[in-house]
A and B are shown apart, each in its own frame.
Chain A
Amino acid sequence: MDVNGFGKDGENMNSMLHNEEASARSDAGIVAMSMFFAGLLIVAFTTSPIASGTQVGERAPIFSGEAYDGTSWKSFEFEDFLDLTWSWNSTNDAPWIAVEFLDTDCYYCKEQATQVGEWAKTYSAEQWIGPDVIFIAIAVEFVSDSSRAEVVEFRTQYNNDFRFVDDLGISIAKEWDVTATPSYFLVQPDGIVAWNSGVDKLGWDAKEEDTFAITSDDRRVKLNEAIEVITLLNGGEQ
């Protein structure tokens, strides 16, 4: 039968237009989706969530495992070092965190190790005008087979008197997007990545909530320079 002069197509169209089931589904779909997007919009307009990641300004992924503190391997929770209530003008003495990814078989890690050990001592609250900076080393296995015994030996040999976290399974390195060693990160007390050696000339300004350029006399900005520039910029002066 010819419907509205459109033949078979018209008939199909007519049946589609009068299909009550389809109409009920689409009407309900419109109402449900409107509710969903209205809810999502309200949340989006009233909050500014911070993404998790290791780029400057992102919230550092938390991790746990076992760490060697000079006496034995103990359970370690990165979150225990964070203070989510910290802000750039905080007067509390929440420490900043310098995270180093290293491989005990990596030449450059060995080359840097003594200096990193010295920085760990230099940037403790008693030694300088800025806030306390806690150093955490994460031992990975990129180059060749490594072991906890090697990690302990490395720590002792280079006087790195801070915690060494066992990540020989490289799960933390994957989460932190680390593919080469040594890699360094400076993390604010509230867990925001303030500096990443992979993008070494950018720092995080907690007050402005934006990145800023760090200048250096050298070709690359080093961890100690990043610590001094960023912590003192973000209310670090005591």
Chain B
Amino acid sequence: MNEYAVLSIHGVIILYGLLLLTPIGSSLATVFHGRYESTKTKRGQLLAGMVFVCFGGFTVSAHTLWMHNKLSEGQSVCSGDTILNCDGLIGNLSYNTDPLFGQPWGLIGMVAFTALMWLVLTIGKDPMSPQAPLFIKGGLGATIAGLPVIGLLVSYEIKEGLICPFCTVAHIANVIALVGFFLLFRLNESEEWAPEAKKNFSRK
């Protein structure tokens, strides 16, 4: 299968998550209403969107780790004569591991998106917990911390004069997750976070 066809699958997952974060998310979320009651709320839509974004970020990171391993075997996975070339970056031994632990960037991405997924799922499972704002701030902090890392990787791309489309999609997923956590943060501070509780309270 063409590598860009596979990339578009990751992209579609992330795009769907992004749309769930936008105002049109309410109509997109209707497909989940039957199974997940919470997606009828703004909070549920945002969290559902974040699950898709984190999952897409995770799968594309796993794919870059797969490419990293394939390239170490001496195979070509995504090369070309254009500026879009993963082999030149993921296969570049000077840049393809993090300078701190020496681990492939794909693995770092997998760990990061797993951690973000854990935060999102924890918030989703117990949104009324007093710990929820802490988890939201944790997610916000983690995605902000990802920005300098993205900056470093983009600097490698500039240095080599190449763009790695798979890496770029993972970077975009991190930025969307940042926006998502920011929206959750704002929502958490408003009354819209728990409309059910408000309804029950006014009934009493």
Contact = CB atoms under 8 A, between A and B. Distances in A.
Interface string B82-114: 000000000111100000000000000011001
A118 interface: no
13 contacts: A24-B129, A27-B125, A28-B121, A28-B122, A28-B125, A29-B122, A35-B114, A36-B110, A39-B59, A46-B66, A47-B70, A59-B93, A62-B94
A32 interface: yes
B22 interface: no
Contacts of B70: 47
Interface residue range, chain B = 20 to 34
Given A21-B126, A24-B125, A35-B58, A87 B74 contact: yes
Nearest to B129: A21
Contacts of B120: 28
A87 to B, nearest CB: 7
B98 to A, nearest CB: 14
Given A21-B126, A32-B114, A59 B69 contact: no
A86 B125 contact: no
A199 interface: no
A49 B58 CA distance: 20
Q: Is the interface of B mostly helix, strand, loop or mixed?
A: helix
Contacts of A87: 74
A35 B122 contact: no
Interface string B120-162: 1110111001010000000000000000000000000000000
A211 interface: no
A28 B62 contact: no
Given A36-B110, A36-B114, A79-B93, A21 B131 contact: yes
A35 B55 contact: yes
A47 B65 CA distance: 10
Contacts of B131: 21
Contacts of A190: 74
A31 B69 CA distance: 26
A25 interface: yes
Most chain B CB within a 10 A radius of its CB, from A21, A46, A61, A190: A21
Interface of A: 20-21, 23-25, 27-29, 31-33, 35-36, 39-40, 42-43, 46-50, 52, 59, 61-62, 64, 79, 84-87, 190
A20 B129 contact: yes
Nearest to B102: A52
A36 B76 CA distance: 25
A138 B68 CA distance: 28
Interface of B: 55, 58-59, 62, 65-66, 68-74, 76, 91-94, 110-111, 114-115, 117-122, 124-126, 129, 131
Given A20-B129, A32-B121, A48 B73 contact: yes
Nearest to A27: B125
A49 B68 contact: yes
Nearest to B92: A79
Contact of A50 (B73, B76, B114): B73
A47 B66 contact: yes
Q: 3 smallest A-B Cβ distances: which pairs? A: A28-B121, A47-B69, A24-B126
B118 A28 contact: yes
A86 B121 contact: no
Contacts of A32: 114-115, 117-118, 121
A32 B120 CA distance: 10
Nearest to B97: A52
Most chain A CB within a 10 A radius of its CB, from B69, B74, B119: B74
Nearest to B116: A32
A58 to B, nearest CB: 10
Contact of A84 (B91, B115, B121, B125): B91
B126 A20 contact: yes
A50 B72 contact: yes
A62 B91 CA distance: 12
Contact of B93 (A27, A35, A46, A62): A62
A64 B93 CA distance: 11
